[in-house]
Homo-oligomer: A and B are copies of this chain.
């Protein structure tokens, strides 16, 4: 019994009935299981696709992941997720290890873009798609949201509802989304002729606890009639702070979050939120990746997804 024959039977190519039987018996007897590593070395593919996000605890990434999974499963790939913790070293280490052909491709959504990222991205031996902003000259497939316009949607909505003392709780300014949302907030306020009171702006990280603490600080020193939050985790934290402080939402203070995750709908009252199209971005990113895996010579593409606003009880007329 030759190795070649065994391989053929196990892959369902040819083999006489007798040979097939003998191979199957032997395999069962030995408890044979194919070694996927060896197979991949030969086939130059693993059937695996990786997704690297900062924080898998943030529902926005869960939504993105589900959208990606649906697309890649279609093409017979399996999706693996890695949480980087926003750590630059961790992200690039991932690129170094995984991208060195453990996976057929990867989608990464970094919240910070450093030179190290750019270098690792361009040097990656496997196809990579970035979800998020990327310097213009980096030749990597890329799908981006427009959080600047997204914040403007929120501000426009609040101003239209008669709010003028609008607070803003943001994430770190040294992150790409944090910087974009800050700029978007200031631009939108200016457009409406509203000054940005420094006391009305708070910065934490993109988490619930930070959002709650930031909102508490904000409420301790000023009196907003609306608060825009840089994501839904922050918004839920701010809602908590508002309710604990005895503010009615939306009567006293209107609240708008961002990312339009499940969290916004799970809260009470439900929170208005700017959708940055996370599911759609995931779907597009997966498509770009599969295309590039199929043909590595494609020119880098860049897709955009427009924001939209979901108005709910937290900023709407009293339910």
State whether A78 touches B97 (Cβ < 8 A).
Answer: yes
- B262 and A35 form a contact (CB under 8 A): no
A140 within 8 A of B: no
B97 and A36: CB pair below 8 A? yes
Is the Cβ of A46 less than 8 Å from the Cβ of B102? yes
Q: Name the residue on B nearest A73 (C-beta).
A: B90
Q: How far is the CA of A104 from the CA of B197 in the complex (A)?
A: 54
Give bound CA distance, A236 to B94, whole Å.
35
Hey, which chain B residues are within 8 Å of A66, CB to CB? 57, 83
Interface size on A, residues (CB 8 A): 46
Q: Is B268 within 8 A of A243, CB to CB?
A: yes
A195 within 8 Å of B (CB atoms): no
Q: List 25 A-B contacts (CB under 8 A).
A: A35-B41, A35-B101, A36-B97, A36-B101, A37-B37, A37-B40, A37-B46, A41-B41, A46-B102, A48-B97, A56-B56, A57-B62, A57-B66, A65-B83, A78-B82, A78-B94, A78-B97, A79-B82, A79-B83, A80-B80, A81-B81, A236-B266, A237-B266, A240-B266, A240-B268
